[in-house]
Structure 1
Amino acid sequence: MEERIEYLLRQYEKNNCSREELEELFSYINGLRAGDQSLKQAVRNIYDDIKKNHPSFTYVDENGKLVLTGPDDQSAFSDKTLVSGKPKWKLLVVVTVSCIIGFCTLIWIVRKNFSVVNYIQKPTTSNPSKKISTKVQQGRLSLSDSTEVWLNANSVIEIPDKFSDDKREITLNGEAFFSSRSSSSAPLVIHCGRITITAHSSAFNIKAYPKDKQLSVSSVSGKIRVTQGSDLLGVLAGGQSLKVNKDDDNISRKAVSSENVASWREGNMKYEEEFLIDIIADIERVYGINVTLSDAAFERMRVSFSFTKDTPVARVLENLCAITNTQLDGENDEFIIL
């Protein structure tokens, strides 16, 4: 108890008491008034110690009285008691009012110097804000430079509140289709993990889910630069696609139909020689289910497949198993391919 009282008194001395600590200190003062001898002795010991370093310290003594000492006083328990002849309840009012004034002053100082405006940093154009689509839906948004973005399910895009004149950079985790018609001379730069896509006035699709085995970029119009660090992986024109295998960094290119690029926006899912594991991942995102492959060899199986998002999931999986010569088990939200 003595250690706690000492802590509270030193906090009061430094004007650092919180409201709860002030209330606790007053409860001990009331104990002094009630004649608690052990509490009185504890307070006397504490003040003897404090007095060595602070001879002018104003305090409440072991009898619950407010004592004002001068720098020349040698006794921490001088007979010069403030309003000592007044009733004790009036003394308590004086102490309480003094503490309240000190506490309110502290609050004013804190608010002046550490206001919410100063303490919480306002978003700047260099700080990205997140736009997140729901797990089984897709969304559309317009960027500050008039670029239109269609965001596929379970995707996250980070963008600044406003692009600067010389910088248009965003970050994508997932899949999105971009239609950029901006007159800005600054290129649109999309960061997808280790891969960076750079474009001017272009229309293109990026599929860069972190857990997929491949990252793919497909161009509908304009020129697209794909880089990894300082290495140029390729430049795409309209109707071209580039894929990067995340396991071995192998790069493959092929021609694609513009109608099939980002056909997911209309609910049509189309795949040409894609890894089965990536197709399964899309099905999980579209329907919000879990699908397990019983054999790890299935993961690298390449499949051409298509389905529409309004098809029942069981039928989609049954059709997929039919063309991969596998079997389906499970129901509701949990399935396994054998």
Structure 2
Amino acid sequence: MLFASSFLYPPLQNILQQLRPKTLHLMNKRIENLFKRYLDDTCTREEFDELFDYIKQDNNELTEEMVEKFYGKQVYQVAGRRRFFIPAIAASVLVIVCALVWYSQGKPRNPGVPGATDLSKIKSTGKKQSGYIVLPDSTQVWLNADSKLEYPETFDASMRTVTLTGEAFFDVKHADKIPFVIKTRKVSTVVLGTAFNIKAYPEQEKITVSVKRGKVKVNYSEQQVALLEMGQQVSIVAELKDIRKKLVKVEETAAWQDGQMNFDDETIDDIIVYLAKAYDVNIIVDNASLRSVKITTGFRKELGIKKVLEILTKLTDSEMNYNDGTYVIK
């Protein structure tokens, strides 16, 4: 199935058409071809993902030119740091990017529509991928690698419920008296309108909820285990074997969106699971005693898997080999 630009609203199509003559010279041959295919409605899902990865890169002149051309603003740069956008620009870039990535077919519907259908839709990402989706109530969701979100075609009038496998950051559209519920195995996260991150990969025992804005109630098998506010986090190990609540920096609640991989008192086993998804590689820990070792550390994703594993093995006094497409730690 082709992922065509006909899914987009007409104003965005017009913007993309106007961009064509001015921006193609900024792209290498591959990106130029992808952009042409997108405009011609012949772009596949995989090609679209590749094009979006290019657009969302830091220091991307194409993105800056898009903003400057259609919003009459200028991008400024702080020496030695990443580029920042004034609020109006940031909003404009977000509008363009959000419309480009996994935009729901049709206009977002109002939350709480009586007689809503139970028909489910699924959005998922593969390893080494991330994704964005706007739900029927205009809630925004950013999916991390190898994650899946299941949600109804239309939310009903009393509850907005979705199911998450993996990791995602939610910016929930406020709706009075219509709670938004995220189910992750036995854990339910309940909100009215807020922004927070949930990490709940099936291969990992621990589920972590971190709040960036607002308040969040966390339940385990219908039992409330935490009430979180901005800058707070709770980690729950399966069957309530361990529950830990702590303060976190707001900017770190979804650090993965900026390419930062943080691990706080996590086992080597859980860290390896995460790295395998982030880089789409095979990793084996051939040392039973090492798997349960807990460490606190962090890596920039752009370091690459080899460098990250080299650092990890130094921290744990272990060794790494690469054989037949698999990294082996022992």
The TM-score with structure 1 as length reference comes to 0.61
Alignment match, 1:260:
252
| 2:151 matches 1:146 | no
Of residues 204, 218, 226 in structure 1, which corresponds to 2:196?
204
Larger radius of gyration: 1
The runs of 4+ residues in structure 1 deviating greater than 6 Å are: none
Q: Residue deviations 1:18-45, cap 9 Å, x none?
A: xxxxxxxxxxxxxxxxxxxxxxxxxxxx
The 1:247–1:291 alpha-carbon spacing in structure 2 relative to 1, beyond 3 Å, is farther
Alignment match, 2:236:
244
Q: Is the 8 A contact 2:125 2:143 kept in 1?
A: yes
Of residues 284, 303, 306 in structure 1, which corresponds to 2:295?
303
CA apart distance, 1:332:
6.6
Alignment match, 2:127:
135
Gaps (5+ residues) in structure 2? Answer: 1-115
Amino acid at match of 2:305: V
The TM-score with structure 2 as length reference comes to 0.63
Q: Residue deviations 1:59-94, cap 9 Å, x none?
A: xxxxxxxxxxxxxxxxxxxxxxxxxxxxxxxxxxxx
* Pairs within 5 Å for 1:105-184: 125-184=117-176
SS of match in other structure, 2:244: strand
Q: Residue deviations 1:186-211, cap 9 Å, x none?
A: 01001111111101111110001111
Q: Is the 8 A contact 1:204 1:220 kept in 2?
A: yes
Q: Residue deviations 1:273-316, cap 9 Å, x none?
A: 22221111111001111111122222221111211222221111
Amino acid at match of 2:143: L
Alignment match, 2:209:
217
Amino acid at match of 1:227: N
The 1:264–1:333 alpha-carbon spacing in structure 2 relative to 1, beyond 3 Å, is farther
Q: Residues of 1 paired with 2:297 and 2:326: CA distance?
A: 21
Q: Is the 8 A contact 2:174 2:194 kept in 1?
A: no
Alignment match, 1:191:
183
Q: Residues of 2 paired with 1:213 and 1:319: CA distance?
A: 24
Q: Residues of 2 paired with 1:167 and 1:304: CA distance?
A: 38
Q: Residue deviations 1:150-209, cap 9 Å, x none?
A: 001101110011112212000001000001132342010011111111011111100011
Amino acid at match of 1:182: H
| 2:282 matches 1:290 | yes
CA apart distance, 1:228:
1.5
* Pairs within 5 Å for 1:40-55: none
Q: Which moved more, 1:267-276 or 1:196-205?
A: 267-276
Amino acid at match of 1:275: T
Aligned residue pairs total 215
Alignment match, 1:20:
none
Gaps (5+ residues) in structure 1? Answer: 1-123
Amino acid at match of 1:142: V
Q: Is the 8 A contact 1:280 1:291 kept in 2?
A: yes
CA apart distance, 1:231:
1.4
SS of match in other structure, 2:283: strand
Q: Residues of 1 paired with 2:218 and 2:260: CA distance?
A: 26
Amino acid at match of 1:259: E
Q: Residue deviations 1:90-149, cap 9 Å, x none?
A: xxxxxxxxxxxxxxxxxxxxxxxxxxxxxxxxxx72121111112210001111111110
Q: Residue deviations 1:228-283, cap 9 Å, x none?
A: 22311111111111111126631111111111111101111112222221111111
Identity across matched positions, percent: 32
Q: Is the 8 A contact 1:241 1:255 kept in 2?
A: yes
Q: Is the 8 A contact 1:165 1:184 kept in 2?
A: no
Alignment match, 2:225:
233
Amino acid at match of 2:204: D
SS of match in other structure, 1:279: helix
Alignment match, 2:273:
281
Amino acid at match of 1:254: K
Q: Is the 8 A contact 1:145 1:182 kept in 2?
A: no
Amino acid at match of 2:211: S
Q: Residues of 2 paired with 1:318 and 1:198: CA distance?
A: 40
Q: Residues of 2 paired with 1:314 and 1:267: CA distance?
A: 16
Q: Residues of 2 paired with 1:126 and 1:143: CA distance?
A: 14
Q: Residues of 1 paired with 2:207 and 2:317: CA distance?
A: 27
Q: Is the 8 A contact 1:203 1:221 kept in 2?
A: yes
Amino acid at match of 2:293: M
Q: Is the 8 A contact 1:225 1:232 kept in 2?
A: yes
SS of match in other structure, 1:182: coil
